[in-house]
Amino acid sequence: MRLEMEKVLAEIEKVIAGKREAVTKILTALLADGHVLLDDVPGVGKTTLAVALSRAVGLNYKRVQFTPDVLPSDLVGFSMYDRQSGGFSYHPGALNDANLLLGDEINRAGSKTQSALLEAMEERQVTVDGVTYSLQKPFLVIATQNSVGAAGTQFLPYAQVDRFLVRLSLGYPDYAAQMEMLKNRQGVNPMDQVQCVMTRDVLISMQKEVQQVVSRDAILDYITRLTLASREHEAVDVGISPRGALFLDRMAKAHAWMDGRDFVTGNDVQAVFRDVCAHRVLLKESTNQTVDDVLNDLLRTVENPDRHSRGMWKQ
Amino acid sequence: MKKRYVGFAVWLVLTCLLYFFENNTDTRIVLACTLLMPFVPVLRRGLFEKDTVSQQPKAIPQTIKTFETREEDDPGDVRAYLPGDPVNRIHWKLTAKRDELLVREQAKNKTAEEMEIKTVLEAEQPAANKLKKHIFLIGFSIFLFSLMLLLMIPSANQGMQALLNRLFDASEAVNAYAYERFDVPADQPVAFAAVLLSLIGLSLLGMTLLSGSRFLALGLMAACVLFQIYFGLAFPFWVNVPLFALFVLWMMKRPWKRKVALTALTGMMIVSMAVLLLYPGVDAATEAASETVRDRLSQMAQSITGTTHEQPAGENETRHVHTQTLTAGGQEARTDREYRLVTVEEEQISMPHWVDYLRIVLLLLLTVALVILPFLPFLLLNQRRKKALDARKVFESENVNEAVFAIFQHVAAWLEATGHGEDNTPYAAWHADLSPDYVQRFTACEKLFEEAAYSTHEMKEEDRQQALALLNETEQALQQRADWKQRLRLKYKECLWV
């Protein structure tokens, strides 16, 4: 892994133990300039993770706890009549100067609010009363969904879940990790020890480098075959969208960059495939397979580009 | 679409069954006529396909037009009025709104025309295929229809038999028994039968032309062979040569060549058959040759089956006499009805022994197979080996990336052949039980491979050497570890690896 990222990871691990893999994935998503959906139970350290990440990278951190009465204007800001100046003045919302936005329990927000957030995520700008304000760069949204106590909530519809680059879950820590966590918090708050080891500008330049990573035709072919196969799979109702294919490529690039390479391999695609695509596949009701089964099936049956791309030199 | 064809097939089979079990001639005629019924709509569509094609695009631009007019309300499609613009193009509604004369843009109509052309072009291709299919179906129906009429209507049937009689007349010396089979006066009118036969021939010709089917050719050839064997007719050699050519063509792979050649040959066959039927006249030399062949065949049959036919003492003499009569003049032989009684014994010989012939054919095939079989694997393997060696030429390629890629593919193939890796798993999961030293080198080489396969970097000569070293090491290690069975397997795989 790249040294810079190793450092960031080390800082985050001061507060979150034993979640190296998930944290790495979130960092990868950050590099790929995409958003993360965390499907998790409460109290496993989502907020801690986000705060630690924002401190380590020097990002501007905002948090919105979604409830049914959070309104779109809370996110994107609103214009108010100002008597002194005699005109309208703009009051920025939570999105405006955030680099890292933690949207807690996004499924509790109303659909209007959800769509305002998702639109801002996609466009990276907000428009209020005809004036467009572009958001900070980089801009990463970590949204969480609690499946516990889901009564009265609106889970994100398929079309909107599709906009998240990856869906991850942290999960409970194991025995050793939890013991360490408890020990660490005797007396001092480890969050204070997290230091800024990277700047925003460095992160932006890294994101640019990630964009320069090469995906050759063999890889694009593999991604296309994977997505096509997902649409034709017998247990699948709605397969991976073209956007999913784009995101898969982006995430694979970030993964390759994290690995210190400037080209994507088939293994990169395979490594990120489950995280990028698990939330993009809708199964038929009649099937008794799980999404994991289907994805593993695809990885097994769709021919690896190492085997498939004989004669790629002719391209 | 497919359901319809299944329905057709079932219905066809039912009609044919009914036809053959029905005794009443009138009912049979009606049944034969109904055979043409389902093809009537096909016929209609097939013949008038062109009209519908030319009608189709007319309908499409209309829908485009309506779509256009709706879009014209969009202000994007208008521009300021210039002197000379026609008045009917002025967009009055927008003009009123904006207080200046605005004209609808005309540019989009052009694209509509282009679209029209495109749709016409696109529509033609499948229509042509459809037409082909329809003509094929029509040919098939005409074929069946004529065949049924020929078999059933007394005058046609008798006419055909009279035609056959003429043919047999020509080769009377060996086919006297035919008279007992087709006891029809020779002066029976044959016109109807000839018409039906030519219909069959034409539809067969058309079908061959369109489909280029190999099975049609095979069927035709088989029919000709049967005809020759069963009736003891010796076609002149200009019929038999095309017959052989037909068989060769049947094995050919180019569809269009096959189609053209097949059509020509089918035509030739049909013409030659017609000539034989209508103007029979077999010369004595052919007759004698046919005679000898039949003798030899029966002798062979005897030696194979072990059964001996009673050879009448005077047989050879009678045959000699007949040959003489033939040389004297066919006319005389044709009218000689007494002849039948004399050659009863000969008839027994000339009657085909199906089982025996089948055995002969099988024996011949078996012999050929036995001769060829031992050489077959060598032939196949040698070819593959050549290909495998060709594949190795890439190793010296100037493009080092390509070379490294190919070398690693070879390494992977070796490992896969010995069960060290599974088909679609990443290479990292391979080589589980090999020595750690080797695994280290393999992993290093895998990195090279990935770089060669997926990056745009230029690779160096050392990389090629490293990969080659790994390939050699793999080959040696695997050869050493393998027992004789596996070694054989490896040898085979080496040949197969292309």
In a domain, B358, yes or no: no
Contacts of B426 in chain A (CB under 8 A): 266-267, 270, 304, 306
Q: What is the percent of chain A with per-residue pLDDT over 70, rounded to a whole number?
A: 95
Nearest to A261 by CA among B69, B451, B425, B205: B451
Contact assignment for A263 to B455 by CB distance below 8 Å: yes
Q: Quote the CA–CA distance of A106 and A48 in Å, as a whole number.
A: 17
Does A264 lie at the interface with B, CB-CB under 8 angstroms?
A: yes
**A19-29: average pLDDT:** 91
Rg (CA), chain B: 38
From B424, B451, B454, residue closest to A307, measured CB to CB:
B424
- 3 state DSSP class of B69: helix
* pLDDT, tens digit, 9 for 90 and up, residues B251-297: 555 566 666 766 777 777 777 666 666 655 555 555 665 666 667 66
Q: What is the DSSP letter of B391?
A: H
ipTM above 0.85, yes or no: no
* pLDDT, tens digit, 9 for 90 and up, residues B151-177: 767 777 777 777 776 666 655 544 554
Q: What is the percent of chain A with per-residue pLDDT over 90, rounded to a whole number?
A: 32
Q: Which residues in chain A (233-262) have CB-CB distances under 8 A to chain B? A: 261-262
The domain of B132 spans 2-141
Q: Which is more confidently placed, A167 or B51? A: A167
Contact assignment for A307 to B423 by CB distance below 8 Å: yes
B102 shares its domain with B165: no
Given B75, B110, B141, which residue is the final one in a domain?
B141
- Going by pLDDT thresholds of 50, 70 and 90, the confidence category of residue B187 is low
**What one-character-per-residue DSSP string does B212-271 give?**
--HHHHHHHHHHHHHHHHHHT----HHHHHHHHHHHHHHT---HHHHHHHHHHHHHHHHH
Contact assignment for B450 to A300 by CB distance below 8 Å: no
Contact assignment for B401 to A300 by CB distance below 8 Å: no
Cβ-contact B158, B188 below 8 angstroms: yes
Given B141, B168, B200, which residue is the final one in a domain?
B141
pLDDT of residue A277: 92
Cβ-contact B340, B174 below 8 angstroms: no
In a domain, B324, yes or no: yes
How close, in Å, is residue A306 to chain B by CA atoms? Answer: 8
Test mutation, A306, A307, A309, A314, chain B, max B CBs within 10 A: A306
- Going by pLDDT thresholds of 50, 70 and 90, the confidence category of residue B82 is confident
- Going by pLDDT thresholds of 50, 70 and 90, the confidence category of residue B53 is very low
Cβ-contact A276, A270 below 8 angstroms: no
pLDDT of residue B123: 57
First to last CA, chain B: 42
pLDDT of residue B38: 54
State the average pLDDT for chain B.
66
Cβ-contact B484, A299 below 8 angstroms: no
pLDDT reading at A21 higher than 80: yes
In a domain, B359, yes or no: no
* pLDDT, tens digit, 9 for 90 and up, residues B114-149: 555 555 555 555 666 666 776 777 777 777 777 777
Contact assignment for A301 to B424 by CB distance below 8 Å: yes
Q: Quote the CA–CA distance of A286 and A283 in Å, as a whole number.
A: 8
From B412, B425, B454, residue closest to A219, measured CB to CB:
B454
Contacts of B405 in chain A (CB under 8 A): 312-313
pLDDT reading at B310 higher than 50: no
Q: Quote the CA–CA distance of B153 and B32 in Å, as a whole number.
A: 11
pLDDT of residue B41: 54
Give the strand pairing for A166-168 and A36-39.
Answer: parallel
B345 shares its domain with B388: no
B193 shares its domain with B236: yes
Q: Which is more confidently placed, A305 or A299? A: A299
Contacts of B412 in chain A (CB under 8 A): 306-307
Beta bridge partners of A38: A144, A168
Q: Which is more confidently placed, B129 or B314? A: B129
B136 shares its domain with B171: no
B474 shares its domain with B394: yes
pLDDT of residue B317: 47
In a domain, B67, yes or no: yes
Q: Quote the CA–CA distance of A1 and A255 in Å, as a whole number.
A: 9
**B24-33: average pLDDT:** 65
In a domain, B148, yes or no: no
pLDDT of residue B183: 59
pLDDT reading at B191 higher than 80: no
In a domain, B372, yes or no: no
B265 shares its domain with B341: yes
Q: Which residues in chain A (286-305) have CB-CB distances under 8 A to chain B? A: 299-305
- Going by pLDDT thresholds of 50, 70 and 90, the confidence category of residue B331 is very low
* pLDDT, tens digit, 9 for 90 and up, residues A109-123: 888 888 888 888 888
Q: What's the structural domain count of chain B?
A: 3
- Lowest-confidence range among A15-19, A260-264, B17-21? B17-21
Contacts of A307 in chain B (CB under 8 A): 412, 423-424
How close, in Å, is residue A9 to chain B by CA atoms? Answer: 25
Q: Which is more confidently placed, B265 or A282? A: A282
Q: Which CATH class is domain A213-307?
A: mainly alpha
From B425, B428, B454, residue closest to A263, measured CB to CB:
B454
Contact assignment for B455 to A304 by CB distance below 8 Å: no
B36 shares its domain with B165: no
Contact assignment for A214 to B455 by CB distance below 8 Å: yes
Given B141, B173, B189, which residue is the final one in a domain?
B141
Q: Does CATH number 3.40.50.300 belong to domain A3-201?
A: yes
Q: What is the DSSP letter of B351?
A: S
B158 shares its domain with B262: yes
Query: CB-based contacts of A231: which residues, under 8 Å, 6+ apart?
Result: A239, A240
* pLDDT, tens digit, 9 for 90 and up, residues A60-111: 999 999 988 999 888 888 888 887 887 888 888 888 888 899 988 888 888 8
Nearest to B284 by CA among B349, B318, B236: B236
Half-sphere CA count of A167, side-chain side, radius 13 A: 20
Test mutation, A304, A313, A314, A315, chain B, max B CBs within 10 A: A313
From B423, B451, B453, residue closest to A218, measured CB to CB:
B453
From B402, B426, B456, residue closest to A267, measured CB to CB:
B426
B136 shares its domain with B161: no
- 3 state DSSP class of B431: coil
- Lowest-confidence range among A190-199, B98-107, B219-228? B219-228
Does A213 lie at the interface with B, CB-CB under 8 angstroms?
A: no
Contacts 24+ apart (CB under 8 A), B277-284: B277/B163, B277/B164, B277/B166, B277/B167, B277/B197, B278/B163, B278/B166, B278/B194, B280/B166, B280/B167, B280/B169, B280/B170, B281/B170, B281/B330, B282/B170, B282/B171, B282/B233, B282/B234, B282/B330, B284/B323, B284/B326, B284/B327
Test mutation, B387, B454, B458, B459, chain A, max A CBs within 10 A: B454
Q: What is the DSSP letter of B289?
A: H
Does A266 lie at the interface with B, CB-CB under 8 angstroms?
A: yes
pLDDT reading at A307 higher than 90: no
Nearest to B300 by CA among B366, B356, B216: B356
Q: What does the domain layout of chain A look like in residue ranges? A: 3-201, 213-307
B176 shares its domain with B119: no
* pLDDT, tens digit, 9 for 90 and up, residues B383-424: 777 777 777 887 888 888 888 888 888 888 777 777 777 767
In a domain, B360, yes or no: no
pLDDT of residue B74: 53
How close, in Å, is residue B252 to chain A by CA atoms? Answer: 30
B320 shares its domain with B174: yes
Which residues of B touch chain A, with CB atoms under 8 Å apart? 399, 401-402, 405, 409, 412, 423-428, 449-451, 453-457
- Lowest-confidence range among A265-269, B67-71, B99-103? B67-71
Which CATH number belongs to the domain containing residue B420 in this structure? 1.20.120
B113 shares its domain with B212: no
